[in-house]
């Protein structure tokens, strides 16, 4: 391996380590205490952390090992690797969407309705939404069992790559995948984040008053505002990373490029290793 390959392997390994630590920490911090019941925000954070940990353990860790070796050496695990990659990325994106919508509703409920219950406070509704997101993730991940192969590359080294049976199959699958698992969730996250910012700006004076009043109704508005700002920060990182990821994927579809796909992979991994720390900082007192 040359110096460039070692640097790439080190960066991926560092992101993998940060992701494992951050997402495990987020998952543990989100577990309810012995005297408290499970709440919506805890379910959403646990689901996000689990989705990301699938990427950390089953995608990034094997990829890091392959980077240090210099070629794919895990044989048929290639198929599982690609399946888990699509599954966890899709679930993580939808988890971020639900968290953004939940905290927008929570902020509005705190500021405008005195902490009145919101639709997403229902664990049954959240369970249905999360189940639906996992079903969508599985549906778009199953084709990887048919599209992924281990092929011999340079110097007889194996590579784990996506090989479509025909150009028609590629033209059908990839636009559908990018639309339903990237474009639509990104649009929802952007919309919810803009609404959070607008709500914060419109209620700035009232927020300052409620923040100092910790006994206003049933809600701690200062905590909700802090969490909402954390969600906006995560959404900003998400949009920057995932829009870049999306553009690289589209570019690689138009002009097949292993470099574009590799950059998209690194950007996706960077998002997964950053967001748990933002959430941990923003909602640590919830």
156-194 pLDDT tens trace: 567 777 777 887 888 888 888 888 888 898 899 889 888
Report, in angstroms and rounded to the nearest whole number, the Rg of the chain calculated over CA atoms: 21
Q: Evaluate if residue 105 carries a pLDDT over 70.
A: yes
Pick 54 or 109 by higher pLDDT.
Answer: 54
φ, ψ (nearest 5 deg) of residue 256: -50, 120
How many residues does this entry show for the chain? 286
Model confidence over 148-157: pLDDT tens digits?
Answer: 776 665 555 6
Q: Which of 97, 165, 195 is nearest to 137 (CA)?
A: 97
Query: Which range is least confidently modeled, 6-10, 44-48, 84-88, 266-270?
Result: 266-270
285: pLDDT confidence band, cut at 50, 70 and 90?
Answer: very low
In angstroms, the first-to-last Cα distance of the chain is 47
Rounded to whole angstroms, the Cα distance separating 113 from 26 reads 29
Q: Evaluate if residue 139 carries a pLDDT over 90.
A: yes
Q: Which of 9-18, 128-137, 199-208, 247-256 ranks highest by mean pLDDT?
A: 128-137
265: pLDDT confidence band, cut at 50, 70 and 90?
Answer: confident
> In this predicted structure, what is the pLDDT of residue 257?
60
φ, ψ (nearest 5 deg) of residue 148: -105, 135
> In this predicted structure, what is the pLDDT of residue 54?
94
Handedness of CA 78, 85, 278, 283 (dihedral sign): negative
Average pLDDT estimate for 113-134? 86
> In this predicted structure, what is the pLDDT of residue 237?
78
Domains of the chain are: 3-282 (1.20.1070.10)
The pLDDT mean for the chain works out to: 80
C-alpha distances (whole Å) from 280 to each of 36, 139, 229, 274 are 19, 31, 12, 10
Rounded to whole angstroms, the Cα distance separating 21 from 273 reads 9
Average pLDDT estimate for 73-90? 87
Rounded to whole angstroms, the Cα distance separating 105 from 94 reads 17
Q: Evaluate if residue 91 carries a pLDDT over 80.
A: yes
C-alpha distances (whole Å) from 208 to each of 111, 113, 201, 215, 284 are 11, 17, 11, 14, 20
């Amino acid at each position: 391996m040359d110096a460039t390959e070692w640097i790439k392997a080190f960066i991926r390994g560092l992101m993998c380590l940060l992701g494992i630590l951050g997402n495990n920490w987020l998952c543990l911090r989100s577990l309810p205490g012995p005297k408290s019941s499970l709440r919506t925000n805890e379910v959403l954070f646990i689901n996000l952390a689990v989705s990301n940990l699938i990427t950390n353990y089953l995608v990034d860790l094997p990829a890091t090992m392959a980077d240090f070796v210099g070629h794919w050496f895990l044989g048929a695990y290639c198929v599982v690797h690609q399946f888990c990659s699509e599954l966890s990325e899709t679930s993580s994106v939808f988890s971020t969407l639900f968290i953004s919508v939940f905290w927008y509703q929570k902020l509005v409920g705190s500021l405008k309705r005195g902490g009145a219950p919101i639709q997403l406070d229902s664990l049954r509704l959240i369970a249905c939404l999360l189940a639906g997101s996992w079903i969508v993730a599985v549906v778009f991940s199953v084709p990887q069992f048919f599209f992924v192969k281990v092929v011999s590359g340079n110097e007889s080294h194996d590579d784990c790559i996506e090989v479509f049976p025909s150009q028609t199959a590629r033209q059908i699958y990839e636009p559908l995948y990018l639309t339903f698992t990237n474009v639509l969730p990104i649009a929802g996250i952007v919309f919810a984040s803009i609404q959070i910012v607008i709500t914060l700006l419109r209620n700035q004076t009232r927020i300052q008053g409620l923040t100092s009043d910790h006994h206003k109704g049933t809600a701690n508005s200062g905590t909700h505002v802090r969490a909402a700002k954390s969600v906006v920060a995560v959404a900003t990182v998400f949009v920057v990373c995932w829009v870049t990821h999306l553009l690289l994927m589209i570019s690689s579809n138009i002009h097949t490029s292993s470099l574009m796909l590799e950059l998209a992979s690194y950007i996706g991994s960077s998002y997964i290793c950053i967001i748990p720390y933002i959430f941990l900082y923003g909602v640590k007192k919830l």
